[in-house]
Structure 1
Amino acid sequence: MALTVIPLTFAQACIVVDRLHRHHRRPQGHRYSLGVVDADGILRGAAIIGRPVARALDDGWTVEVTRVATDGTPNANSALLGGCWRVAAACGFRRAITYTQSGESGASLRGAGWRNVAELRPRAGWSTPSRPRLDRGTDGLSRTMWERTRSNAVLLPVSSDLLLAAPCPHCGASAPIGRGRPAACCKAAQQGVG
């Protein structure tokens, strides 16, 4: 099935997210939104791209894919995720990030050329005594951080306190994070082969 990525308004994308997203409500805003239509022009999904939610990652050169929702049409997720990066790169951004929850494979992200950056510990939630917030049903879940980058992107300032594991730079296998340097998980990493 031929799929085409198209621009959407924030309101249009939010309608799709409200109808199709499995575990999140619509975000507060966006930089841009995209849709994917089939050969008959039927809207099959939407992606909303905004500023990074984590303040430490909001460097002016990074965007975050905050929502992707589809009706299950094959390859619609990958088409949207690929489109998100192409638009971001065309606008001059150096990095695009997104997250998956534990239990989600990330197959669409890998299919669109994204790479696993880190496994993140579960958050207790967004609510604090000074700023109470409702539980959205996604607190307490570990997440995987994914990215697409340009060659001039700087390293992410991710705190090791948040990490569960990170991919080995040589073989890609998950290496547990503890205090100090991450454990080497393959012979090349152990020998320092670069």
Structure 2
Amino acid sequence: MALHLVPIRFRDARDFVAMWHRHNPPPVGMVFAVGAADDDGVLRGVAIVGRPVARHLDDGRTLEVTRTATDGTRNANSLLYGAAWRAARALGYRRLITYTQGSETGASLRAAGWRVLAQRPARAGWDRPSRPREQRGTEHMPRTLWEAVP
């Protein structure tokens, strides 16, 4: 099955993530999104790119792939990660990052030419007495920080 890139609206990308993502809800915002469709026009995957979640990385020149989701179609994630980096560069951004959970291999990222920047230990979450946050189900998991290779 051949895949190609398609434009996608934020609402449609969020709906796709809500249906297919294994462990995270759709993000609340984005800078852009891109879809992967098959030859029949059936949407097989999406990538949503936004500002970095960690505020110290939000320097105006960095974006983060905040969510990808596919229906399991082979190579869809790699296609989306590569397209996200090309689009970010075309918009003038210098850096694109993303995270995977400790149990994920990162095979799609490696296939798209990304590299590991850091291993992040598990943390209790974003909740602080001064800034209460809801639990999202991703607390207490180690993560890997990835960067698209220029």
Which category describes the TM-score, using the shorter chain as reference length? over 0.9
Q: Give the C-alpha shift of residue 132 in structure 1.
A: 2.0
1:99 is aligned to 99
1:26 equivalenced with 2:26 (yes/no):
yes
1:2 equivalenced with 2:15 (yes/no):
no
State TM-score, norm by structure 1.
0.75
* Whole-Å separation in 1 of the counterparts to 2:132 and 2:116: 32
**4+ aligned runs moved over 4 Å, structure 1:** none
Q: Give the C-alpha shift of residue 5 in structure 1.
A: 1.2
* Whole-Å separation in 2 of the counterparts to 1:61 and 1:130: 28
1:52 equivalenced with 2:52 (yes/no):
yes
Superposed CA RMSD: 0.9
* Whole-Å separation in 1 of the counterparts to 2:149 and 2:71: 28
* Whole-Å separation in 2 of the counterparts to 1:42 and 1:49: 21
Q: Give the C-alpha shift of residue 133 in structure 1.
A: 1.9
Unaligned runs of 5+ in 1: 151-194
2:90 is aligned to 90
Unaligned runs of 5+ in 2: none
Query: Superposed, which structure 2 residues align to 1:72-91 within 5 Å?
Result: 72-91=72-91
Find the structure with the greater CA-based Rg: 1
Alignment length, in residue pairs? 150
Letter in 2 for 1:14: R
Letter in 1 for 2:22: R
Letter in 2 for 1:82: G
Letter in 1 for 2:43: L
* Whole-Å separation in 2 of the counterparts to 1:7 and 1:103: 30
Query: Superposed, which structure 2 residues align to 1:111-122 within 5 Å?
Result: 111-122=111-122
